[in-house]
Amino acid sequence: MIVFDLKCSNNHVFEAWFKNSQAFNEQREQGLLSCPVCGDCHIEKALSPIKVKRASSQTGDGIISQEAVAQMVRTFYKKVVESSEDVGTRFAAEALKMHYGVVEPRSIRGVATDEEEKMLKDEGVEFFRIPVPTKKEDKAN
């Protein structure tokens, strides 16, 4: 698997995973790629601002192991949790209040329905989804 930073013709940058570079080219040629922000299908590779390289977590061929990636995701999510307020199902309402200056801006996290996400996009509220890592269940119980 390979991850590319992609950019639409409206300069929205997002990332996507592909089996290989050829899979990206095939999907782009078939019109299967679209921007998650605006739906634009004119997608190009964007320069990636960072490169993660950890010698201790690489396999012999230079590929980062699945466990190393999982650990990076867990570390990232932990930082998000530590630096944001969980507003739960009030996410859309709180984001709108901040967007319109009703309350002071702050880092929040929570959940929103598809309809709420569409409304936030329509209002010009910037947000993004973060996948929540699953916790390993305790096998002793």
* CA-wise closest residue to 36 among 106, 99, 114: 114
| 123 falls within a domain | yes
| 68 falls within a domain | no
Higher pLDDT residue, 54 or 86?
86
| 58 falls within a domain | no
Q: What is the number of domains present in the chain?
A: 2
Q: What's the whole-number average pLDDT of the chain?
A: 83
- What are the tens digits of pLDDT across the range 93-102? 999 999 999 9
| 54 falls within a domain | no
| 29 falls within a domain | yes
| 65 falls within a domain | no
What are 86's strand-pairing partners? 109
Amino acid 104: pLDDT:
93
pLDDT at 77 over 70: yes
Range of the domain at 38: 2-45
| 73 falls within a domain | no
Amino acid 5: pLDDT:
86
| 93 falls within a domain | yes
Q: Name the pTM for this structure.
A: 0.50
- What are the tens digits of pLDDT across the range 12-70? 988 888 888 888 889 989 989 999 999 999 999 887 655 555 555 555 566 778 888 88
What average pLDDT does range 121-130 have in this prediction? 89
